[in-house]
Amino acid sequence: MDDLTESKLTELELKANEARELLMSTLLEAGSGHSAGPLDMADIFTAFYFHILKHDPKNPDWADRDRLVLSNGHICPIRYVSMAQAGYFPIEELKTLRKINSRLQGHPHRTALPGLETTSGPLGEGLSQGIGIALAAKMDKKNHYTYVLTGDGELNEGNIWEALMFAGKNKLNNIIAVIDRNNIQIDGFTENVMPLEPLRAKLEAFNWHVLEVDGHNIRQFVDAIGQAHAIYEKPTIIIAHTIAGKGVDFMEKDFHWHGKPPNSEEAKKALDELRTLQGRIVSEHQA
């Protein structure tokens, strides 16, 4: 992974904001889909596809690529947006999200779209899948990384904790998990539905190296990945503290936007806000 220069950081921040704009237009066109989680993971997906991952959009099955597993598959619209920006398929195809015969299903379908590692939908399965991929890489003496993205509400699933135990026992230092700690799930705030805290202590007790970052600070996140690469005796998990609906004021921290798309009026308001933010990012880096 290359060093993150100031100019590259600016490029990533602008691309993440562009991803949010594309996301709003995509969800409006689809008329269904999730808003809050995809908005808050735009910075992290941008960091992966444009700085962290070893991958090749023109050769998505490249044997030595890093693997990126999305466990909480319902936030896939932001993954699709990032993949389109990276060149896996034309940006115009985003308009087909959730439509009949589209490659861009409401949950990722591995065989439908090159560049997806798994099919996901039922929560709690992605970490186990990623651990299987990482274990196979160890057995085959491969040196690529497996990254797994999960939601915090998803941690209610028992399968996650079985997977955590297995990876900790087997010291799988080639897997790095990222938790989107946005504190919401479909029924409300995580600490009201099923409290997760003290989350860091729980994860450390399962023999994982734990890092915590601001999930909207791309430099912080990239630095955490670099630290994770330097941990050899255990797997690493990054708790990325995010704001659900990030970038759109009326969606932020509101769990009702977990599984709801914007209507035309809401999308216009969101896009106006995001375009203003785009100008602010440029001004801040020029100052």
Question: Which tens digit of pLDDT belongs to each residue from 58-110?
Answer: 999 999 999 999 999 999 999 999 999 999 999 999 999 999 999 999 999 99
Average pLDDT, the chain: 96
What is the reported pLDDT for 24?
Answer: 98
pLDDT bucket at 266, cuts 50 / 70 / 90: very high
pLDDT over 80 (residue 286): no
Cα–Cα distances (Å) from 243 to 67, 80, 212, in that order, read 26, 20, 14
* Three-state DSSP class for residue 235: coil
pLDDT bucket at 123, cuts 50 / 70 / 90: very high
pLDDT over 80 (residue 193): yes
Cα–Cα distances (Å) from 169 to 68, 172, 233, 235, 255, in that order, read 22, 8, 10, 10, 35
What is the reported pLDDT for 67?
Answer: 98
What is the reported pLDDT for 210?
Answer: 98
Delineate the domains of the chain, giving CATH numbers in brackets: 6-286 (3.40.50.970)
Nearest to 185 by CA among 154, 149, 212: 154
Orientation of helix 218-229 relative to helix 6-30, angle to 10°: 110
The residues, any chain, with a CB within 8 Å of residue 103's CB and separated by 6 or more, are 89, 93, 96, 109, 112, 113
pLDDT bucket at 287, cuts 50 / 70 / 90: low
Nearest to 213 by CA among 59, 87, 90, 43: 43
Q: Count of CB atoms within 10 A of residue 277's CB?
A: 17
Radius of gyration of the chain (CA): 18
Phi, psi of 185 (to 5 degrees): -145, 180
pLDDT over 90 (residue 40): yes
Percent of the chain with pLDDT over 70: 99
How far apart CA 259 and CA 127 sit, in angstroms, is: 22
172-189 pLDDT, tens digit each: 999 999 999 999 999 999
What is the reported pLDDT for 279?
Answer: 78
For residues 42-48, give the mean pLDDT.
Answer: 98
Distinct helix (H) and strand (E) counts, the chain:
10, 7
Instruction: Please give the sequence-ordered ranges of beta strands (E in DSSP) within 188-274, or none if there are none.
Output: 188-189, 209-214, 236-241
pLDDT bucket at 281, cuts 50 / 70 / 90: confident
What is the reported pLDDT for 282?
Answer: 76
pLDDT over 90 (residue 243): yes
What is the reported pLDDT for 1?
Answer: 84
pLDDT over 70 (residue 138): yes
pLDDT over 70 (residue 28): yes
pLDDT over 80 (residue 240): yes
pLDDT over 80 (residue 256): yes
What is the reported pLDDT for 127?
Answer: 98
